[in-house]
Amino acid sequence: MKLRLLSAARLSFPLATALAALLAAPSAHAVTYYWDTDGSGTAGFGNVAGTWGTSAFWGTDPLGSGATANTTITNADTVNFGTAAAALGSTASTIGIVAGGVTVNNITFGSAQ
């Protein structure tokens, strides 16, 4: 049996096509979210009450003054309840979790809590 070698020209198109497909594919990246019940325009994070999975309290502003939404958190994301400088409200309350649970990469409770 005689081995047959493929020319570089015959291999270059399929290789280039595969490489282009890999580079064009969307990549998942981690996002850091903050539980912020007082919404945009107000610095700080408001109080604690709400339900993770139905309440529109997730924002990406580490100062707590940006817009918030009911965001789907992925297992690549980090969530924060307060920060080292700003705590959630001091009243005793709870954050409920939607039926079926949630998955997250990292949860941080700010040292100002």
Please, which residues have CB within 8 angstroms of residue 7's CB and are 6 or more apart in sequence?
none
Q: How far apart are the first and last CA of the chain?
A: 75
Question: Mean pLDDT for the chain?
Answer: 80
Residue 87 has pLDDT above 90, yes or no: no
Q: What are phi and psi of 68, to 5 degrees?
A: -125, 160
pLDDT tens digits, residue range 18-55? Answer: 656 656 555 568 999 999 988 777 788 888 888 999 99
User: Can you give the pTM of this predicted structure?
Assistant: 0.69
Q: What integer pLDDT is reported at residue 21 of this predicted model?
A: 60
Of residues 81 and 113, the one with the higher pLDDT is 81
Of residues 13 and 62, the one with the higher pLDDT is 62
